[in-house]
Amino acid sequence: MRRSRKRLGRAKGSAKPPIPVRKRTFRATRPPSRETSSQSKILYVTSEMADFVKVGGLGDVSSALPRALRDHHDVRVLIPGYREVLARHADISVVARLPAASGLPACDLGQIEIADGLVVYIVLCSDLYDREGSPYGDTSGLDWADNDMRFARLSLAAAELANGLADLDWRPDLLHLNDWPSALAAAFLAWRGAPTPTILTIHNLAYQGLFGAERLAALDIPAHSFQVDGVEFHGKLSFLKAGIFYASHVTTVSATYAREITTPELGCGLHGLLRTRSDQGRLTGILNGIDERWSLPADSHVEARSDSDADKSRRLNAERVRRAFGLAVSRGPLFGVVSRLVHQKGIDFAIQGAQALLREGGQLVVTGRGESHLESALQKLAARHPGNVGVRIGFEESEARRIFAGSDFLLMPSRFEPCGLSQMYAQSVGTLPVASRTGGLADTVEDGVTGFLFEETSLAGLLGAMYRAVDTYASPQKLRAMRRAAMQRPLGWSRSAGQYGALYRSMLAAVQGRRSSYPPCALPASPSTASGRKL
């Protein structure tokens, strides 16, 4: 008989982070039951979810994709119990107790159901997650010193759910993991001989979750796995490599990026392993989408939300943006940047190209935060050009959406871009991206039709595309045609969800076929590459 659900609970952790934490108690209520027995059960594991907290595009994807999949699958989300999650839900049902493992603390598993019916499981461990800051670092931007333990605990919780919990009447058929913070779940399942298939989606290969080899025992990672055919990466432990090596299938967020990461130039040292996965048919690019809340009629953050009068909407939003950023009234084009201010995004190219943009009668508005030297350079640029360059260090969603809706062009001179959502947000409201031809930018921007692409990721390349954009701005008929084409691009999640659904069904069918031939927990291991290969 299934044991009764706990009504109160609080996770206790053995590892003490070097910061004060607040202890919380939960007044739990039993979540409603859901009749989903005919659907495959998918656990979507993520370190961000825009409903609660987001740092980048992963948060938006983790909010939208599980919802898009629910028509055909019983999809539930697993996320750490960050302070923002706890603040949004005073009553959390504690549905299971997860035991300690080596240095990983015991914790409770909570459950909530969001207003639209999406079920979210929460790893409740105050010592690891209930902190002021981002999912990955403190308020000064420094990574948490115990991130290895924080996300190994998340990954182990996902594996424990896949193995089945005595107190929980739901067990996933497949785990969908995202980036390095949850990648270790695939390895935990493999080390335990569990047959549950896993998909790892790489949103950005540059972030790999690298930690010292001395952390293996504390993280419950077997010593024998620290080798080239395992978790070792140039003498360190790599969470992301572990996921790539042990996952049943790897996806990434655009078809072009799936090809790029198998090359030395953009493979971040993992191109050999990824090329092997591609050759095995175990690497797929599936382009992200954006949800309908980004269309003008649905966006409560912007002015004049009418697709039928997009020009009026743009004019009103541009006026508001110019006032907010102290820009002069202008009849020239407004260029926007809404981005993390980091080397990857080519912000240095935008800074270097600003003078040429201003000479052409344009203005520039920038919002975001990131590397301190880029933040400082942008602030100095604004000080040199008051009234024509506006910069806000930070991110506020309403303001960002108004920049998307009010700008004429969006600058995205990225050195690499796995998918990119900003260009799709911009296109949905008729703002034309000026972007480098890489990753998802190449897959979503049609040069001269829905935006402007440049081949060489350099200042010269960006300037050439900017000049073409300025010339188009001077040709109202062409400009309107491009804006209409951009707004008509299919940007939703239905196509992407269909591709993920097909992949789920294929993987589950393959597992079912193998189960008929192999005893439980004795399935063949994932194919390994030849020893001594170059990663």
Q: pLDDT tens across 111-151, in order?
A: 999 989 999 999 999 999 999 999 999 988 899 999 999 99
Residue 300 has pLDDT above 80, yes or no: no
pLDDT at residue number 530:
30
Q: Is 2 contained in some domain?
A: no
CA neighbor of 244 nearest in space, from 256, 233, 257, 255:
233
Q: Do 368 and 509 lie in a common domain? A: no
Residue 472 has which token pair? 């188009």
The average pLDDT across 321-346 equals 97
Q: Do 270 and 413 lie in a common domain? A: no
CA neighbor of 58 nearest in space, from 37, 44, 75:
44
Predicted confidence band at 514 (pLDDT cuts at 50, 70, 90)? Answer: low
Residue 499 has which token pair? 């591709």
Q: Is 124 contained in some domain?
A: yes
CA neighbor of 332 nearest in space, from 464, 461, 473, 218:
473
Q: Do 271 and 329 lie in a common domain? A: no
Q: How far is CA 365 from CA 327, 379, 381, 473, in A?
A: 9, 11, 11, 17
∠ CA(508), CA(513), CA(518), 5° rounding?
115
Containing 110, the helix (H) or strand (E) segment is strand 107-113
Q: Do 265 and 339 lie in a common domain? A: no
pLDDT at residue number 515:
56
pTM: 0.87
Kind of pairing between the strands at 363-368 and 236-238: unpaired
Q: Do 71 and 45 lie in a common domain? A: yes
pLDDT at residue number 522:
34
Q: Is 322 contained in some domain?
A: yes
The average pLDDT across 280-303 equals 77
Predicted confidence band at 28 (pLDDT cuts at 50, 70, 90)? Answer: very low
Q: Do 56 and 189 lie in a common domain? A: yes
Kind of pairing between the strands at 249-252 and 198-202: parallel
Q: Is 521 contained in some domain?
A: no
- Residue 223: count other Cβ atoms within 10 Å of its Cβ: 10
Residue 138 has which token pair? 């403190």
Q: Which residues of 119-149 are buried (b: 16+ CB within 10 A; e: fewer)?
A: bbbbbbbbbbbbbebbbbeeeeeeebebbbb
Q: Is 533 contained in some domain?
A: no
Q: Do 370 and 475 lie in a common domain? A: yes
Q: Do 277 and 299 lie in a common domain? A: no
- Residues above pLDDT 90, as percent of the chain: 80
What pLDDT digit, counting tens, does each position of 60-82 carry?
999 999 999 999 999 999 999 99
Q: Do 320 and 371 lie in a common domain? A: yes
- Rounded to whole angstroms, how far apart are CA atoms 40 and 25? 33
Answer whether 209's CB lies under 8 Å from 180's CB: yes
Containing 240, the helix (H) or strand (E) segment is helix 239-246
Q: Is 361 contained in some domain?
A: yes
Residue 91 is part of which domain span?
Answer: 40-132+166-289+502-515
Instruction: Determine phi and psi for 359, rounding to 5 degrees.
Output: -60, -30
Q: Do 194 and 328 lie in a common domain? A: no
* CATH number for position 432: 3.40.50.2000
CA neighbor of 125 nearest in space, from 152, 143, 163, 161:
152
- Overall residue count recorded for the chain in this entry: 535
- Residues above pLDDT 70, as percent of the chain: 86
pLDDT at residue number 304:
55
Residue 495 has pLDDT above 80, yes or no: yes
Q: Do 188 and 242 lie in a common domain? A: yes
Instruction: Determine phi and psi for 22, rounding to 5 degrees.
Output: -100, 140
User: How many distinct structural domains can be found in the chain?
Assistant: 2
Q: Do 270 and 395 lie in a common domain? A: no
